[in-house]
Amino acid sequence: MPEKLRTANRKRRSKEPIRLRTNMDTVIYTIYENNPNPPEMEKLGEIIKNGGLVAFPTETVYGLGGDGLNPESSKKIYAAKGRPSDNPLIVHIARMEDLGVLVREIPETAVKLAERFWPGPLTMILNKSDAVPKETTGGLDTVAIRFPSHKVAQELILSSGGFIAAPSANLSGKPSPTLAKYVLEDLNGRVDAIIDGGDIPIGLESTIVDLTGETPVILRPGYITKEMLSEVLGDVLTDPTILDGNCKERPKAPGMRYRHYAPKGDLVVVEGKSDEVVSRINEEVSKAADAGLRTGVIATKENAVFYNRADSVKIIGSREKDEEIAASLYRILREFDDENIQAIFSEGFSEEGLGVAIMNRLLKAAGHKTINLWEDA
């Protein structure tokens, strides 16, 4: 590893991600899915072919893309993000036949999942081929692969040679970006170009499933739920660390070990019966306000009117609609940062279906600080 990178990573562990000295002129292109292949796309593909970096929209979150088969590009991605280089990247493809280039063999499980869920928000971990450099996989012999459904992502992948390594397009430690303005905020001067594709439909990162063992294991929950995977594969396990903050095991996805998605303010999740959650959040808000803190609440549409003591109340969506909640979460965490909210209280949400992914990200953002009123009852 070059000395500059090594120093960057060492510093990063102790503090906030540092700003590397970069003087790149970041150019912004607006390309929507209704016209995903304008003439500029060829130029954007060339940037990646030549070892440069382009941030782009996917159906989950914005990605920070470089050539997945070029070790120098992967090193640049780590530097631009301020991310430890032992945290592997996902390689994005846009043609089924390109899967074979990246892996030693394609297991039957992968064929079945690809037929059902690709293109889409599912990442598979498989044994890598020699074509994939260790720089891209953080030194591992396995590789994470995804075929996104977003048309702009697909066109960029095709115009850049077929294999884009891309983590989420945020600085390490910040929530994944669901709007191009947040990509610009984090990566201006650090990437060659940003494609503004407008709103992102899902808003949480892809489901990751490890297919290298006997039984498939979900390493990161997402839009493709355990139930959906089980319908195709039968038995599917879940990494036990996903919702349990006290679990002694280490998460198998290196990225799930870091404290991610953390807002600047202190976040506490209050779980319990809806009316009890409302009164407890109001009590906590009053206490925090009395202590001189600026307060914020993450509220369901149904309950938002009841939180009249907080400085900032954000409606995350209807309790009945997981998809609204998923799509708003990261934006709201960033908005609280911008408003310098110091004490944030969130309602807890159902842990079924997509709710597993929502609660996984929310509890991580909270550092697993919860008030559980079910247990008190």
Per partner kind, with CB cut-offs from 5 to 8 A, the member of ligand TXA, Mg ion, none near residue 79 is none
The least CB distance from residue 123 to ligand TXA, in Å, is 5
Residue 226, CA distances (Å) to 39, 250, 371 in order: 40, 20, 27
The least CB distance from residue 242 to ligand TXA, in Å, is 12
The least CB distance from residue 42 to ligand TXA, in Å, is 22
Our CB check for ligand TXA shows the closer of 125 and 344 to be 125
Query: Any contact of residue 60 with ligand TXA (CB under 6 A)?
Result: yes
Our CB check for ligand TXA shows the closer of 360 and 370 to be 360
The correct pick among 17, 68, 167, 265 for binding ligand TXA (CB under 6 A) is 167
Report the residue number whose CB is nearest to ligand TXA: 255
**CA gap 253, 258 in Å, rounded:** 10
Stretch that binds ligand TXA, among 3-11, 161-169, 227-235, 356-364 (CB under 6 A): 161-169
Our CB check for ligand TXA shows the closer of 87 and 312 to be 87
Residue 195, CA distances (Å) to 81, 99, 183, 191, 255 in order: 17, 25, 9, 11, 25
Per partner kind, with CB cut-offs from 5 to 8 A, the member of ligand TXA, Mg ion, none near residue 166 is ligand TXA
Per partner kind, with CB cut-offs from 5 to 8 A, the member of Mg ion, ligand TXA, none near residue 206 is ligand TXA
Q: What is the footprint of ligand TXA within residues 83-112 (CB under 6 A)?
A: 87-90
The least CB distance from residue 281 to ligand TXA, in Å, is 30
Task: Specify whether the CB–CB gap between 41 and 154 falls below 8 A.
Answer: no
* DSSP codes joined into one string, 10-50: HHHHHSSPPPP------EEEE--TTS---THHHHHHHHHHT
Q: 10 Å Cβ neighbour count for 234? A: 10
Those residues with Cβ within 8 angstroms of residue 169's Cβ, 6 or more apart along the chain or in another chain: 55, 56, 61, 62, 63, 64, 176, 177, 183, 186, 187, 194
The correct pick among 26, 168, 295, 300 for binding Mg ion (CB under 5 A) is 168
The least CB distance from residue 324 to ligand TXA, in Å, is 18
Query: Any contact of residue 26 with ligand TXA (CB under 6 A)?
Result: no
Those residues with Cβ within 8 angstroms of residue 61's Cβ, 6 or more apart along the chain or in another chain: 168, 169, 176, 177, 178, 200, 202, 203, 204, 205, 330
Overall size of the chain counted in residues: 377
Our CB check for Mg ion shows the closer of 120 and 222 to be 222
**Number of residues located near ligand TXA, criterion CB under 6 A:** 28
The least CB distance from residue 60 to ligand TXA, in Å, is 3
Task: Specify whether the CB–CB gap between 77 and 64 falls below 8 A.
Answer: yes
**CA gap 185, 47 in Å, rounded:** 21
Residue 376, CA distances (Å) to 22, 276, 286 in order: 52, 11, 21
Contacting positions for ligand TXA (CB under 6 A): 58, 60-61, 63, 87-90, 123, 125, 137, 140, 142-144, 146, 166-168, 205-206, 208, 219, 252-256
